[in-house]
Amino acid sequence: MATRTVGLSSSPLRSLTSSSSHPPPTRITPTLSFASRLKPALALPLLSATPRRSARPRSPRVSAALKNLSETVPVSVPADSGELVRRFPSASGVYAVHDGEGGLQFVGISRNIAASIAGHRRSVPELCCSVKVGVVDEPDRAALTQAWKSWMEEHMTATGKVPPGNESGNTTWIRQPPKKKPDLRLTPGRHMQLTVPLEELIDQLVKENKVVAFIKGSRSAPMCGFSQRVIGILESEGVDYESVDVLDEEYNCGLRETLKKYTNWPTFPQVFVDGELVGGCDILSSMFEKGELSSLFKK
């Protein structure tokens, strides 16, 4: 999905006053998801009481005030993503996600509310049962922040609590980059006597794992432009792959020379699928551009 998330600094909350005994948290980070295709600032009518089933209203309207959080009627989140996109507006605004018990979990702002909700639904379906939506007219950053602040203030005044998802340090609702796996190590260390020849370790590794990339440097910080490009391609294919750092002299000592002989291939990176050498950066790039990689990974 083509949204990116920007964490707001603590500024929106600084002026927030809470009548509760709880001191306001020092930092609350709502997510700001900007749609890649920004729509012109269409003034949309606020969500009505009935779930939005039809196409999104197109008629521009003079700016209407944002409804209170309590006045806004929650819309249930359907499991089907097509239905979800029909039910929620792809416009900018504030939204409040509620769990199965009607408890407020998170208040966020978004440049594409439907896309943001779809994302939350995918990552935490159990917490996304219904959502209240307030479309913001002329949604510049200040207006969006103001809308978020007013809903947050209202909720905190009423309950004395910050929605759990908005608490400092809670990252449930912020789009996270996928957790990077550690690189695989072939040996327990340079000074340990190997009981199995390195060739066999390589052989086992590439046959036991669907996709293996032997690269220079780690997958999180490749040390060579060709390795970096290969990692980029594998990441963008969304394929689950293992990586081995051939420059790791401590845990992969001697791997470079042994692997060159094993594959009869003199350079790195080297990418294996199902135990077979697919090639280096040139071949991966060329297959990626021709769209041949996804079928290779699926087999």
Partner 1 sequence: MLPVRSHSRRVLASLRVRMASRASSAMLSRAGRIRSKLQSSLEASVLDIEDVSHQHAGHAAVVESGAAETHFNVKIVSSKFEGKSLVSRHRLVYDALADELRSGLHALSIVAKTPQEVAPK
Region for residue 254 given its phi and psi (left: phi exceeds 0; alpha: psi -120 to 50; beta: otherwise): left
When the beta carbons of 124 and 283 are compared against partner 1, the nearer one is 283
Q: In whole angstroms, how close is the CB of 245 to partner 1 at the nearest point?
A: 14
Distance CA 118, CA 136 (A): 19
Q: Residue 228 Cβ, how far from partner 1 at the closest point, in Å?
A: 13
**Listed residue (72, 79, 129, 133) closest to 101, CA to CA:** 129
Q: Which is nearer to partner 1, 70 or 267 (CB)?
A: 267
Q: Measured from the CB atom, is 64 or 223 closer to partner 1?
A: 223
In this complex, which beta carbon is closest to partner 1, that of residue 86 or of residue 260?
260
Q: Closer to partner 1 by CB, 186 or 287: give it.
A: 287
Closest CB 182 distance from partner 1, rounded Å: 23
- Angle 95-100-104 from CA coordinates, rounded to 5°: 40
Of the two residues 24 and 279, which places its CB atom closer to partner 1 in the complex?
279
How far apart, in whole angstroms, are the C-alpha atoms of residue 7 and residue 223? 30
We find the least distance from the C-beta atom of residue 246 to partner 1, in angstroms, to be 11
Residues forming the site for partner 1 (CB under 8 A): 223-226, 264-267, 277-283, 286-287
Phi, psi torsion values for 243, nearest 5 degrees: -125, 145
Run of H or E including 188: none
d(CA 253, CA 193): 12
Tokens in use for 82?
């097509």
CB of 146 to partner 1, least distance (A): 49
Q: Position of tokens 């009935």?
A: 50
Question: What is the smallest separation between the CB atom of 282 and partner 1, expressed in angstroms?
Answer: 5
Q: Position 126: which residue type? A: E
